[in-house]
Amino acid sequence: KAGVTQTPRYLIKTRGQQVTLSCSPISGHRSVSWYQQTPGQGLQFLFEYFSETQRNKGNFPGRFSGRQFSNSRSEMNVSTLELGDSALYLCASSLGLGPRYGYTFGSGTRLTVV
Amino acid sequence: QQQVKQSPQSLIVQKGGISIINCAYENTAFDYFPWYQQFPGKGPALLIAIRPDVSEKKEGRFTISFNKSAKQFSLHIMDSQPGDSATYFCAATRTSGSRLTFGEGTQLTVNP
């Protein structure tokens, strides 16, 4: 079966711009989580969505937002991009809430802010 | 209270050797401890996980040891192979929650 699909794979943006990243979860999975991965900070939780509702949010500024659609696909948006937002953004999908369902990660979107 | 500390940052092992990666956590509310393996250009993939009601879990060449009183857990890779060369992350979470708190990662290189 198809895995977690993240688009685009690579993105270059200029400071001050905004960006939207997309995540299509595994068919039947209803939970989508987003993580930011950087060499300095490692993997950090951004937010989680389940049934179109944000269930959990990490310690990121309000410039980072997301949403989930009725088909479980999710998007995250970063406004007013800063150089420090350059990172690999990972999406993970799961059947339900909680680790007992397991998380499957996509290959990520590599965002570079110049 | 939410941190997970992982060591070493990098590890070089000969083929057939044992790779050992250690993690320590602070939040006693954590009750689920997974390990992830990440290859370049890919997202992390679940390797093995443990709950604090057991002290050890083994799956093939991979073993997790868990010390609840010390709030530490470790991953042992027996008979390490060049194909095991990857970055390994420990993580912790609550079974009632969902966010994973990751360690800093260990870059493992297994020389042939």
pLDDT category of residue A1 using cuts at 50, 70 and 90: low
pLDDT tens per residue across span B63-84: 999 999 999 999 999 999 999 9
Give the A window 50-79 contacts with B, CB below 8 Å. 55-56, 58
Average predicted confidence (pLDDT) for chain A: 95
> What is the arithmetic mean of pLDDT over A92-98?
89
**Rg, chain A, Cα only:** 13
Could you give the CA distance from residue B100 to residue B49 in angstroms, rounded to a whole number?
A: 12
Could you give the CA distance from residue A47 to residue A35 in angstroms, rounded to a whole number?
A: 7
- Burial class, B4, CB count within 10 angstroms (exposed 0-12 / middle 13-18 / buried 19+): buried
> What is the arithmetic mean of pLDDT over B11-17?
97
Nearest to A22 by CA among A67, A86, A83: A67
> What is the arithmetic mean of pLDDT over A88-111?
92
Query: Which residues in A lie closer than 8 A to residue B89 (C-beta atoms)?
Result: 42-43
| CB-based contact B45 A42, cutoff 8 Å | no
What is the structure's pLDDT at A107? 96
> What is the arithmetic mean of pLDDT over B33-61?
94
What is the structure's pLDDT at B2? 64
